[in-house]
Structure 1
Amino acid sequence: MNRPETPYSETPSPETASPEPVVIDCDPGIDDAVALLLAFASPELDVTGITTVAGNVGIGQVVDNALRLCDLIGTDPRLPVARGHAGPLARAVRIPDEPVHGEGGLGGVTLPPSARTPHPEHAVAWLAERLRARPAGGLTLIATAPLTNIAALLHTHPDAAPAIKEIVVMGGAAFAPGNVTPSAEFNFFADPEAARYVTEAGVPLRIVGLDVTRAALTTRADIDRLLADGAPVTGAAGRMLDHLATRYERRHGIDACAVHDALAVAAAVRPDLIEWTDAWVTVECGGEFSRGKLIADVHGRTGRPHNARVATGVDADAFRAFLITRLLHTYGAPAHP
């Protein structure tokens, strides 16, 4: 993606409008953790709650990780963290066999236990209530996990859907290889029925998939900046990303890593960092090799109207600068401006 040579400022731009109310549906997970750090470091967003779903690790570990991350970030203790579905809508739960995210899901980084407790309501019920209290188009959902909670919300509480401004989804691989099968990305593979339901539900949808997340790698130099900073949050982020980069180097010979979910948060803040293509999309649920495959019809072959904007290009350098600068500016040691 070619863009003018305009370096990203070391200081986040001042707010020009009220922060965008968002809820983040996640399964921390290293890249979910970094996505949460970025969301709370972005004054353009007002994170009003976190919902959780099984994915990178089991639901108990996911909830525990989310609570510990809230402590690390220093969020308001009243911020709701709601426990969602423990498995897919129509299949047995499948936690990855290979420990991509390391012990505990955070790359072996051990955060102190949290005194916080999850919100007493199920994530889907809580989210439906939160949406009903909003005007039409009043809340954005950022989904960085299997779409089980979101599909359940749209199916069981259709009256809440008009309040959704849009859903920004990290998932799928429209025109790129998958990372679980030759064709499927993990979030869509983990619950393809949920992904299909969400894509065809008629809500405003933007999809940030492997087509762009793999092109926006965080480099070893970026990680070293976080590790050298020495502050608790940046240090933890650096150690998590070091785990991913070490794995990437071992498997792919690349001394860098994709931080998939952080790019979805960036898309909600800076959509100009990404090139978007309108398409009709759905997700394959069957087939020996096609389960979880994101189908994107950009040329109207199906005759169906476009129902999503699909990310097809990214300014990788600008994203890297955006991510690392925001983390250092918000959470870094006092020496950083």
Structure 2
Amino acid sequence: MSQAAHRVIIDCDPGIDDAIALLLAYASPELDVVGVTTVAGNVGLDQVVDNALRLCDLIGGAAAATPVLRGHAGPLARALRHPDEPVHGAYGLGGVELPTPTRAAHPGHAVDWMAERIRVGAPQEITLIATAPLTNVAALLHTHPDVRERLAEIVIMGGAAFAPGNTTPAAEFNFHADPEAARYVAEAGVPLRIVGLDVTRKALTPLADAEALIADGAPATSAAGRMLSHLIERYARRHAVRACAVHDALAVAAAIRPDLLQWTEAWVTVECAGEFTRGALVADVHGRTGLPSNAKVATGVDAEAFRAFLMSRLRDRYGAHTAPAPSAPVRSAAVSGAAVSGAAVRSAAAPGASA
């Protein structure tokens, strides 16, 4: 007898890698996505919500009925700041223009909705997968502390415990964007898995995979391939490699197949005050502080197994042999980020996180 799907809420800021993460989550029968909550990050909040709605419509089925909720528009204690260099391109989706959403966001605020949804289920029924700045998650744990004991786990894409950052030399984008929120979550006493740049940079998706998805021709696979191609072009210019990290998809994979990664128990916190280390993830794996472990930190990954897992899930769920005809064309802007001629008017995408 097959095991019941595990219920998850995905807190995200789409963003290309968030988009691939959502596609993977809905392609995985092990997960039952009960809600998609949004927070400003890779792009501004209005664009993030719009992208999440468009992606859920593209996926179709249960995704088209999943509540999508607006969360916080900026950090808890700092002004909203985006990096100077755009990463995610036009609309935050690499210039890929998805059909106009068929519905509006669910009423209410993401934080309050998450609290109520967690309360109505059985204890430890829901895992929260956080692939964005942790503003919503920190607000949830602070304003609704009773949910801490009801969450099964929080799986976080963020931080760089033993690797350089991608926003500063010390910090990864999500933790740098709202370090106070990241620190609060780290020290809140909820079971945590942290999937950071230590492993996401080791699990690259090559150009051949992006091209194979585009060649498949179905709406979702084609869109995924074009988004990945945008990131790969950026990686080629910046890192001289024709492949890219898909950070958030690895966090979703970790919720489904934790065996794809190696984990180290550690006491963790996040630096908030350092002149050069704001947002740095501090992981004490040797017990120097004497404090008990509060997280499992990913330190290794089977990169080829993850690559095969991601590609097989996307093809099996969305490939041309299974996908219905699109209700509207999926179009792509140039890699430079120019808007598609004739595309629906959308809010401007702020520059996104560094890869």
Report the TM-score range of the alignment, normalised by the length of the smaller protein.
over 0.9
Offset at residue 78 of structure 1 (A) = 2.9
Alignment coverage as a number of residue pairs: 322
CA distance in 2, matches of 1:70, 1:280: 36
Tell me which residue corresponds to 1:39. Answer: 25
Tell me which residue corresponds to 1:49. Answer: 35
CA distance in 1, matches of 2:291, 2:122: 29
Tell me which residue corresponds to 2:184. Answer: 197
Tell me which residue corresponds to 2:346. Answer: none
Give the structure-2-normalised TM-score.
Answer: 0.89
Tell me which residue corresponds to 1:64. Answer: 50
Give 5+ residue unaligned stretches, structure 2: 324-355
Give the structure-1-normalised TM-score.
Answer: 0.94
After superposition, give the CA deviation of every residue in 1:37-74 in whole Å (9 maximum; x if it has no partner).
00000000000000000000000000000000011000
Tell me which residue corresponds to 1:186. Answer: 173
Residue 79 of structure 2 corresponds to residue 100 of structure 1: no
Out of 264, 268, 282, the residue aligned to residue 277 of structure 1 is 264
What letter corresponds to residue 58 of structure 2 in structure 1?
A: L
SS in structure 1 at match of 2:36: strand
After superposition, give the CA deviation of every residue in 1:109-149 in whole Å (9 maximum; x if it has no partner).
00111121111010000000001112221100000000000
Residue 217 of structure 2 corresponds to residue 247 of structure 1: no
- Does the 8 Å contact 1:173/1:294 carry over to 2? yes
CA distance in 1, matches of 2:263, 2:212: 31
Bigger RCO of structures 1 and 2 (CA < 8 A, at least 6 apart): 2
Out of 150, 158, 161, the residue aligned to residue 171 of structure 1 is 158
Tell me which residue corresponds to 1:227. Answer: 214
CA distance in 2, matches of 1:259, 1:129: 31
- Does the 8 Å contact 1:107/1:244 carry over to 2? yes
RMSD: 1.1
Residue 178 of structure 2 corresponds to residue 213 of structure 1: no
Tell me which residue corresponds to 2:132. Answer: 145
Of all paired residues, the percent bearing the same amino acid is 72
CA distance in 2, matches of 1:87, 1:95: 10
What letter corresponds to residue 300 of structure 2 in structure 1?
A: G
Out of 90, 96, 117, the residue aligned to residue 104 of structure 2 is 117
Give 5+ residue unaligned stretches, structure 1: 1-14
Tell me which residue corresponds to 1:84. Answer: 71
Offset at residue 96 of structure 1 (A) = 2.7
Runs (4 or more) in structure 1 with deviation over 6 Å come to none
- Does the 8 Å contact 1:241/1:257 carry over to 2? yes
- Does the 8 Å contact 2:15/2:42 carry over to 1? yes
SS in structure 2 at match of 1:203: coil
CA distance in 2, matches of 1:99, 1:71: 26
